[in-house]
Chains A and B, each alone.
Chain A
Amino acid sequence: MNKYQILYSDVWLRRVLPCALMLMFALIAHAQKQQKAERFTINGYVADAKSGERLIGATLMDTISRNGTVTNNGGFYSITLPKGEVALSVSYVGYTPENIKFELTKDTLINFLIHDNTQLSEVTITGHQSISGPQSVQMSVIEVPVQQIKGIPALGGEVDVLKAIQLLPGVQSGSEGSAGVYVRGGGPDENLIMLDGVPLYNVNHMMGFFSVFNADAIKNVTLYKGNFPARFGSRLSSVIDVRQNDGNAQSYHGNVTVGLIAAKVNVEGPIIKGKTTFNVSARRTYFDLFTAPIMALITRNEMDGTGSASAGYFFYDVNAKLTHRFSDNDKLSASFYMGDDAIYVHYRDRELSSSSKERINVDWNWGNILAAASWEHRFSPKLFSTTQLSFTRYRYDLTQKLDAEYKEDSNSPAYTLKESLQYKSKIMDVMLQSNFDYSFSPQHDMKFGVSYTYHNFSPQVTSLNMFGNDPSESLALDTTISDGRLNAHEATLYFEDTYQPVSWFKMNLGLHGSLYGVNGKVYPSIEPRIGLRALITNDLAIKASYAYMSQYIHLLSNSSVSLPTDLWVPVTKQIEPMRSMQVAGGLSYNVLGQVELSVEGYYKKMKNLLEYKEGASFLGSSVGWEDQVCMGDGWSYGVEFMAQRTIGKFTGWLAYTWSRTMRLFNREGQELNFGRPFHARYDREHDLSLTLQYQINKRIDISGTFIFSTGNRATLSTQSYYDDKKTSSDGVINYYESRNNYIMPNYHRLDLGANFHIPHHKWSNAEHVVNVSVYNVYNSMNPFLLAPDTYLGKLYKVTLFPILPSLSYTFKF
């Protein structure tokens, strides 16, 4: 066996799985014994007192029994406690905690309406327990308040959810300015990024410099970067769970923003007060509205009025959500997202002497569309379900059209030619899923569910049409060339139990099973998930976790930026699913209820990773793509530290990661780097980020972000020589000793921003907000890429974004 061969997780599966199952049955038996004590269930919803918006991840804790729970994605909680005195404390990031004491004598429904404390003038000390804090069994999870995301200074002033996530420990950005997310050594396709529980395949606008998430439409963002609970699957590295606002149930609100890059609008309110709500957001960039006409004008002058050319780029997206609450037992909601990027080039030319004319249009569109209908139902105080039918699609479509009329001279007959070339790709999912929350007993909080997904891949379709009436040659061509549609079926089943046998010890045991069928081949996967937490004191916990994951789709991409031509393809008979195994351990400490500190170490193995073979062409290569890729393995390990403060006037976090990520492609015929291990492109030893926000007064808040990281890796040749076998013109070969052999200069940047809130002179609920932000304040020339100049014998770094100030104006009502 090769010395670099990774001994893999079958051993883990064989050993860990039976142990986990046995432990689970033992715990259930133990719990049944305990049922003899009389107990009752408290359940209900936690919502914002002003808007009625139900809050996800709010914590409820009985301070007497030390039992606790968190609200689910519907804002619902259920906690079963022994009969007697109960002291419930409810807390949520940015909200004033509520405390309630009462005698529990029967099943009780309590809906908590808690108050936003962000506008308080004094520092408020609260005892919020986050979903990642010492009281929670979950580790490697971070919840970022949307309010904090909105406060972070952003590139071009365009607030970005994924850019905020890049500032968290264990998460790395790709190239300068890009929204790519690399979690604990995984690739960007290894992240399950969901909007209202539905996967989005392309989360980038503008080649990855912005993400598709419009912060105005977002209620909650949670990142799981390891130890996925069993309810999540299908990806190796992370889950980014983004939830949209339901909309204000009491009154109409909205905002209109005009920035340097985009304009956006958000409106929300009740259709039936307290019952039916809507929330609609839209944004669009508008550079092209100015540049295209100007370009047409300039080219018209240059072409002496015989033609013109215009070109432009824009993106837009629309988010919408409609919710109806029938009662406390039933809620129906519909979510919708649509977003597109578009590049267009339009060219017109006319020859004066012969009256020949040509019209060429190139249009390139790509984007997502997502729709989901969800039904939340409370069967009983203990049992809550969410059933969702959803549809998600990503497609790109490149069309080139020529419409021409040629003449020898103005009197001769015209020869017309019409050509059209279309190049398309698509991935579409239809998914039906049901998820259940069951508060079985004070010790057991269970979740289970089932889902089925129909995947439809059309990786590449090319159509060519050509019609001409040249008298000397008849021309008629109408053909479509495609590798056909590919259908895949995925079924999953999961069960997880958060078990707290004693107040200081809690565990989350889960199993995620899946079947993936494609082209007559079925891949099964059974994935155990284990999370353990032991309280040392009420504010200090030690945690450990284990997770095994499988992934059945791959993103074919060989570029450092997100291109629309990146292709999603499924596993096949030859290309096996990617697998990963991750173990992690750490400490979580809550300092006086104000700052949460965490230290985590992890080790992650990855198997069946894909990379393009050397020299493979990626454009239009979906047919026969299996021959253009090679499979290999990888591993990553590191230590992460985070200190986060989410309450009061002074908030923010400090994050530091030390990590190492390696790749090994040594399978026969699929070697990269001559079959030797090599550093991943984004293997950066040190990553540090400091994000601070301070509310000076009700009128002004300021923020700043500082980032320092070891440079990305690049491949530089070591020697050049002449090769007379080479058929290209100069015959000079650059010899690369190994992949990613060079570390670019360190990356560091400071961004600053300020919001000025000016109350509207007539409407008390309205205000003007002016945002001033500066990206890269001290104009650090960070390397985007390295460019050797062999003429001068010098090495240059190319910087993408020097200092970039921006300004935006928002009217809120």
Chain B
Amino acid sequence: MNKNIINILKLIALISVFSSCQTEVKFNGIESAPQIVINATFEAGDTLSAYVGRSYFFLDKNARTNLYSSFANVGDRQYRDTSNYGVLADALVEYSVNNGAWKTMTIEEKKLKTENDRTAQVRHFKDDYVIQPGDRITIKASHSGFEEASATQSVPMPCNYVVLNGESEYGQGSIEILLEPYTYKTDEELYLSFEYYCYYRYSRKGADKSINYTTAGFTSQNPIFEHAANNTDGLLNYSSIASRYMFAQASDIKEAMSITFYNQVYNPEIPNQLNFGMDMIYEQGGIKLERLICDSMVISVSVWTADEYKYFLTRAARAGQYPQETTNSSNYNEYTAIMQEVQSVINEEFGNEAPVQIYSNVDNGFGCVGAKAGKVSTLRFYE
């Protein structure tokens, strides 16, 4: 009897060891049909350019071959082959400006680009038309086997500001810009991008005194942190402000200084309290101001760099307006920011937790068609 029990236990143990923990399962949902993808950003002053490609069912084996990065060797050099990436090179792509006549866009020549050129653009459909502020542009694409896809977008009016001050010395500098009065809506978003690490503060001095405040923050991580620690500006000094994010990489504690500060809104009416608001979203070296834009707002930006860079760029751009019935992913800038989060979120969540749903404003297709109008200023260090 006892021997039998032991034998049974042995058998169970063996089965346990050899039990596989990952097994194939049949997809029993509805296999959706592929659609045309249109991606474009209509920027005032630029010529028309759009990506037109196709989507694949997520379990289609061809998706990996046709969508993901591929490289080609020419001689002893490796190039990024931009000829694939789902591009529908023989699609019919047309556009119309302000409900005018339809014109056909043509695809770029096939190009091989260097591996290191991360900005290498895949083949686009292009036209020589120079985009004007206020244009309303419709783009449509058709291809056999797919439904015709189309999208319409309006180009915003230019984003104007005046550089009030610019100071620089070796390794650091600051710039103060004044938004042009009475040209911004209070609910409008403004996108500021900076080439390098910087911290900033901006003052809002609108007609309504009750909403005056100053905000300070950092656009990137170390080494700004260390530099800010010695800053005499009360708002910028790290010891007097709270942080939204602060977490060191467990893998290398020496990187514990890699700290990202996010925005704090200082309300002078409650001097001892810092309020937190989602008034801006950060991208690498950039700030997006939302809900806080007001007339006559002065933005001060300080830049510090430990590198040998001699200048930085300030770029202010207005995002295009998008349909209102969209989700919180609807905005173009937010959309690009979210894209960066997608992979990490999916990884953190064991692959099945709430992923980011991608906004699309393309009818009968996927993709996002946006528009913007911007202005660039350059401040040179050590001039």
Using a CB–CB distance below 8 Å, which chain A residues touch chain B? 360, 362, 400, 402, 419, 421, 423, 462, 464, 466, 477, 479, 481-484, 558-560, 611-615, 617-621, 623-624, 626-627, 630, 669-675, 714-739, 741-742, 745, 772, 774, 779, 781, 783, 785-788, 790-800, 802-805, 807
User: A560-B349, A739-B357, A802-B16 in contact; A716/B29 too (CB < 8 A)?
Assistant: yes
| Inter-subunit contact A722/B276 (CB<8 Å) | no
A-B contact count (CB 8 A): 272
Contacts of B87 in A (CB 8 A): 722
- Which 8 pairs between the two chains have the least Cβ-Cβ distance? A802-B19, A627-B278, A793-B61, A721-B55, A615-B341, A624-B276, A719-B55, A671-B327
CA distance A546 to B126 in the complex (A): 64
Provide the bound-state CA to CA distance between A379 and B346, in Å: 60
Closest to A466 in B: B256
For the complex, what is the distance from the CA of A781 to the CA of B345, rounded to whole Å?
26
Q: What are 12 A-B contacts with C-beta separation under 8 Å?
A: A419-B254, A612-B354, A619-B247, A627-B278, A673-B327, A675-B325, A716-B29, A721-B67, A724-B39, A727-B339, A786-B352, A799-B22
Is residue B375 within 8 Å, beta carbon to beta carbon, of the partner chain? no
A266 to B166 Cα, complex, angstroms: 74
CB distance from A185 to the nearest CB of B (A): 17
Contact, CB under 8 Å: A464 / B256: yes
Contact of A729 among B53, B69, B276 (CB under 8 A): B69
B353-383 vs A, CB cutoff 8 Å, 1 = contact: the mask equals 1111110100000111000000000000000
Q: Is the CB of B352 within 8 A of A714?
A: yes
Contacts A722-B86, A726-B339; A790 near B58 (Cβ below 8 A): yes
Per the bound structure, the CA–CA distance linking A455 and B136 in Å amounts to: 55
Bound Cα distance A722, B88 (Å): 12
User: Closest Cβ of chain B: how far from A238's Cβ, in Å?
Assistant: 24
Tell me if B74 is interfacial: C-beta within 8 Å of chain A: no
Which residues of chain A are near B53, meaning CB under 8 Å?
721-722
Other CB < 8 Å A-B pairs besides A674-B326, A794-B24, 7 of them? A614-B356, A675-B327, A781-B19, A787-B22, A796-B24, A798-B21, A804-B16
Q: Does B239 reach chain A (CB closer than 8 Å)?
A: yes
Hey, which chain B residues are within 8 Å of A731, CB to CB? 67, 69, 85
Question: Considering the chains assembled together, what is the distance between the CA atoms of A671 and B9 in angstroms?
Answer: 53
Q: Does B266 contact A (CB under 8 A)?
A: no
| Closest A residue by C-beta to B357 | A736
| Min C-beta distance of B151 to chain A, whole Å | 14
Kindly identify which residue among A481, A715, A719, A805 contacts B12, using a CB–CB cutoff of 8 Å.
Answer: A805
**Minimum CB–CB distance for B225 against chain A, Å:** 10
Counting CB contacts under 8 A, is B338 at the interface?
A: yes
Main secondary structure of the interface of B (DSSP, over half): loop
Residues of A within 8 A of B354 (CB): 558, 611-612, 614, 672, 715, 739
Determine if B357 and A558 form an interchain contact, defined as CB atoms under 8 angstroms apart.
Answer: no
A721 close to B54 (CB less than 8 A): yes
- CB neighbours (8 Å) of A779 from chain B are 15, 19
- Given known A-B contacts A360-B253, A615-B342, A732-B68, A720 and B55 have beta carbons under 8 A apart: yes
Contact (Cβ within 8 A) B341 A799? no
Residue B218 CB within 8 A of the other chain: no
Min C-beta distance of B69 to chain A, whole Å: 6
Contact of B67 with A722 in the complex, beta carbons under 8 Å:
yes
A139 to B181, CA, bound (A): 66
Least Cβ distance of B180 to chain A in Å?
A: 27
Contact B253 A733 (CB under 8 A): no
Roughly how many angstroms separate A4 CA and B13 CA in the complex, as a whole number? 53
> For the complex, is B104 an interface residue (Cβ under 8 Å from A)?
no
Complex CA distance for A484 and B357, rounded to whole angstroms: 34
Instruction: Please indicate the chain A residues that have their CB under 8 angstroms from the CB of B64 in the complex.
Output: 790-791
CA distance A419 to B41 in the complex (A): 46
In the complex, the answer to whether A724 meets B238 with C-beta atoms within 8 Å is no
Contacts of A772 in B (CB 8 A): 5, 9
Nearest B-chain residue to A402, judged by Cβ: B253
Contacts of B348 on A, CB cut-off 8 Å?
559, 618
Chain B interface category by residue count? 35 or more
Q: Distance in Å from the Cβ of A548 to the closest Cβ of chain B?
A: 29
Residue of A nearest to B262 (CB): A624
Residues of B within 8 A of A733 (CB): 339, 342, 358, 366
Residues of chain A within 8 A of B13, CB atoms compared? 805
Contacting pair B248 A421 (CB below 8 A): yes
Considering only residues 225-281 of chain B, those with a C-beta below 8 Å from chain A are 229, 238-239, 242-248, 250, 253-254, 256-257, 259, 262, 276-278
Per the bound structure, the CA–CA distance linking A781 and B340 in Å amounts to 34
Cross-chain contact A615 with B356 (CB below 8 angstroms): yes
How far is it, in angstroms, between the C-alpha of A723 and the C-alpha of B365 when the chains are bound?
Answer: 13
Contact indicator B57/A803 (Cβ below 8 Å) = no
Contact in complex: B57, A614 (CB < 8 Å): no
CB of A423 within 8 A of CB of B247, answer yes
Interface residues of B in 317-350 (CB under 8 A from A): 325-329, 335-336, 338-345, 348-350
The listed residue (B56, B246, B352) touching A785 by CB distance below 8 A is B352
B58 in contact with A402 (CB, 8 Å): no
In the bound assembly, the distance between CA atoms of A423 and B250 in angstroms comes to: 12
Q: What's the minimum C-beta distance from B330 to chain A, rounded to whole angstroms?
A: 9
CA–CA, A717 and B31, complex, Å:
11
Known A-B contacts A421-B256, A795-B59; the reply to A620 vs B247 at CB < 8 A is: yes
- Closest B residue to A800 by beta carbon equals B21
Contact flag A735-B327 (CB < 8 Å), given A466-B256, A624-B278, A797-B23: no
Contact (A621, B61) CB under 8 Å given A560-B349, A671-B328, A796-B23: no
Q: Which residue of B lies closest to A175 (CB)?
A: B350
A720 touches B23 (CB 8 A): no
> Known contacts being A671-B328, A723-B339, A726-B339, is A795 close to B25, with CB within 8 Å?
yes
What separation, in Å, do the CA atoms of A671 and B359 have in the docked complex?
Answer: 12
Q: How far is the CA of A613 from the CA of B39 in the complex (A)?
A: 24
Cα separation A727 to B367 with both chains bound (whole Å): 15
Q: Does any Cβ of A come within 8 Å of B73's Cβ?
A: no
Give the residue of A675, A725, A796 whose beta carbon is less than 8 angstroms from that of B339: A725
CB B1 to nearest CB in A, in angstroms, measures: 12
When distances are taken between beta carbons in the complex, the residues of chain B under 8 Å from A611 are 354
Select which of A479, A674, A721, A803 is within 8 A of B327 by beta carbon.
A674
Nearest Cβ on chain A to B300's Cβ, whole angstroms: 23
Q: B145 within 8 Å of A by Cβ? A: no
Question: How near does chain B come to A223, taking the closest CB pair, in angstroms?
Answer: 27
Q: Is the CB–CB distance between B250 and A362 below 8 Å?
A: yes
Task: Please state if A797 and B358 are interface contacts (CB–CB under 8 Å).
Answer: no
Q: In whole angstroms, how far apart are the Cα atoms of A558 and B341 in the complex?
A: 14
Residues of chain A within 8 A (CB-CB) of B368 are 723, 725
Tell me if B177 is interfacial: C-beta within 8 Å of chain A.
Answer: no
A671 to B353, CA, bound (A): 17
